[in-house]
Every structure is written in structure tokens, then in C-alpha cells.
Structure 1
């Protein structure tokens, strides 16, 4: 499990380094995708409406609320360790994302004709990060919900189409989210989970 953490962490660190140092190809790609997405959003109002609806539906507070409900459900079933894991994962991941925004202080895209607006710094994307965290805790406990993995991808795409994040921002958010999940699972579930809830069997390391 420890080695698996490096799979998303290494590309995240590499991407963060390239963004921080202003590496040309990354910034050029970001600008090209953002310009293309902005033109698509301006040309197709229905696309803008749909992405706005989706980005609001999958905002971080939605996943935090869902995770809080999940924690209460786990506590009622007597699975305190899993409940604590969900809590730590959501809180630590959210705080880490907020801290990194302050470290990188990357500005959001500035467009001549924007279709949306967002406050704060851009890197990494909080929407993408929290979508991964929220979806992952549910899929870990309920493996049959694996199709939920589409949600973080959709969320990331909406942020780029609306012009409130660069592509590298959302990629970083996705990678960081996976790294946080793998790290906390390694810390909490080094030994098999003991609890009455059969759904927690998915938490046992393979």
C-alpha cells in the first residue's frame, strides 16, 4: 500500500514543480485548453448552463455533507475506526488543498469574455480534490458504487470549461485526492477492520 501512494504523489509533485517554475509547455497547454473551452462555452450556452449546474452540484460542501452523513451511519453501526478514517480523510485533504493554494498563490484564468467567476487561488483545484475524496470514501465502503469515479472527472472538466481553473489545476487536484486517500487508508487499515458492518470488508488490504 505504501508504494501505491507514490503512483499519484510523484506526478503531482512533478506537475506542481513545473507549475511553480513556470515551465513553458505546461503553461502554453493550459492557455490553449482554456481558450478553446471558453470559446466552446460562449458558442454553446447550453454547455455553459449544464456545466454550471454540475459544478454547483459537485461542489466541496456537497461531498463534506455526504461524508458527514456517512460518518454518522458508520458510528451507528459501531464502526468507529472507519468513521474516523472518513473524517480524517475529508478534513486533512481539504486543509491540505487550502494550504497548497496559499503556497502556490496561482491566479485563476483571466478571460476577456468569461462565463463564470470564482474567488481564491487556483492550484490545486479544490473542487477536483474534494470530489475525489468524497467519492473515494463511499466507493471504499460500498465497492458496487465504482461508477461514481466518473464524478471527479466530470467535476474537473466543468471547472475548465467554465474558465475558473487551468487544466493543470484540476489534474493536480485529482492526483492529490488519490494520494490523500491512499495515505490515510495505509495509516488506518494496516490490519483488517474489525466491525459489525459487512460493507467494511472492502477496507481489508488485499
Structure 2
């Protein structure tokens, strides 16, 4: 008789979770390689590409002139940029959703949301320091901001947080109201970009860079989350259903990650 074949044990949940955590970390570190549009924009910024510089200057001059001519608009822009759609407002909204997910015992989705938003802030600061682009210097400035200019931290935070909120909450939003949810996610992203340029603290290319970098980060970490779902045998849902369709119906509590 020949040797008895060896049967490999099935993968354990703890092992699956460890691989998910590793994949999530690697996705955050490697996402820049997939962020081709951001990389192209960064090259154009560093090369001082003429058409992009002219676009930045014209947009900044036009919006700055409009703000100077309407003081009431200036006050509205300041509130919208720093309070209504400010980074800390966005992060607090995500923190509230993370707490809700923890209460629903959706531990992995809560971990994904928290790590994605945290990574967004850290990566944005790192790229700013590496690029070291100066902020616009306009006549009669109406606002000031510390640090470097590219990419816009406000724009990146808005993109990251709104995308995270949308991907988490879509399953619990009735299909009839999902277009409204998409609009509610898009408006702050576009609005904060407009306000940052109008206030004269960012160029248009800074805002575009923030949007592209935030979107690339969410895409990378969402890919890692979907890879874990596939490995755990839970399937991958279309974007229109969010990252975890099971949130729409109560189910057995999910054990915390090991």
C-alpha cells in the first residue's frame, strides 16, 4: 500500500483575518503605484507645465476677484470650507459611523473605515512635505493656511471620508434614495474644492491632486476588503451595494478580528 495522502486543514478564521490585515496594510503602502492619474498630475506640477500653471493662475485670479467683490460670499466660503465641509467635520462623521458599525458588530468594516481615513491624513501630510509646493500668493489675501500646498488636505479628506461613508451606508439606504446619497457624497467633495481655490489657499491642481489621491487610497483599501470577502467565501458585491451588503439585514454577530 502506498503512503496515505495528507489532507490539509481548512484555513481558520484567525488566519483569514491576519491575511486580510496584512493585505490591507500592503494595499495602503502600494496604492500610489495604481494611482496613475495622480502620478501624472504630480509630474506636471513638478515640471511647471505651462498649460497647468495658466489654468491654476486664471482660476485663482477669477475666483479671488469674485470673493473680494462679495464680502457675504467670503463669510459663507469660510464656514463651508472650515466648518461644514472641514476635515474634522468629515472625520467626526466617519468616527460616528465606525461606532455604529462596532455596535452592529461589523468589526472588519469598522476597521477598514477607521484605517482608511487615518491613512488619508498621514499620507496627505507626507506627500505635502515631499512635494513642498508653496501656496498661492494673491493680492489682498482673504485667508491663510499653514504648510505646503500640494495636495489639498481638505480635498483629500473630503474625498476619502465621503467615499468611505457612501460605501459603508449604501446597503442600509433604500434603493429609491441611493441617488440622493450619491449626490450628498459628491456635493461636499466638489464644494470644498471650490472653496479652497476661492479662498486663495490652494491651486486648482492642488485640489485635483487631493481628489485623485483620496480616491486611489479608498480604491486600494476597498480592494483589500473585497479580497478578504472572497477569501472568506462571502463574495464581492457591486459598488452600488456598498462593501458589506449584509448590513441591510440583521445577522449573527461577526467575531472581532484576531
TM-score where L is the length of structure 2: 0.71
C-alpha displacement at 1:25, in angstroms?
A: 1.6
Which of 150, 158, 176 does residue 195 from structure 2 map onto?
A: 158
Provide the aligned length of Structure 1 versus Structure 2: 196
Query: Does the aligned pair in 2 maintain the 1:131–1:152 contact within 8 Å?
Result: yes
Question: Which sections of structure 2, spanning at least 5 residues, go unmatched?
Answer: 1-26, 171-177, 235-240, 246-258
Q: Distance in 2 between matches of 1:102 and 1:110?
A: 19
C-alpha displacement at 1:202, in angstroms?
A: 2.2
Which of 95, 98, 103 does residue 122 from structure 2 map onto?
A: 95
Q: Distance in 2 between matches of 1:14 and 1:46?
A: 37
Aligned residues: CA RMSD? 2.1
Query: Does the aligned pair in 2 maintain the 1:42–1:48 contact within 8 Å?
Result: yes
Which of 49, 56, 70 does residue 75 from structure 2 map onto?
A: 49
1:64-94 deviations in Å (ceiling 9; x for gaps): 1111111111011110110010011001111
Q: Distance in 2 between matches of 1:63 and 1:154?
A: 13
Query: 4+ runs of 1 displaced by more than 3 Å?
Result: none
- The aligned runs of 1:96-175 (5 Å cut-off) are 96-143=123-170, 144=178, 145-147=181-183, 148-175=185-212
Q: Distance in 2 between matches of 1:67 and 1:176?
A: 18
TM-score where L is the length of structure 1: 0.89
Report which stretch shifted further, 153-162 or 46-55.
46-55
C-alpha displacement at 1:30, in angstroms?
A: 0.7
- 2:39 maps to 1:13: yes
Q: Secondary structure at the match of 2:242?
A: helix
Q: Distance in 1 between matches of 2:52 and 2:130?
A: 19
- The aligned runs of 1:27-38 (5 Å cut-off) are 27-38=53-64
Q: Distance in 2 between matches of 1:61 and 1:202?
A: 24
Query: Which residue is equivalent to 2:242?
Result: 202
C-alpha displacement at 1:204, in angstroms?
A: 5.1
Q: Distance in 1 between matches of 2:200 and 2:242?
A: 38
Q: Distance in 2 between matches of 1:149 and 1:139?
A: 10
Question: Which sections of structure 1, spanning at least 5 residues, go unmatched?
Answer: 195-200
C-alpha displacement at 1:130, in angstroms?
A: 0.3
Query: Which residue is equivalent to 1:80?
Result: 107
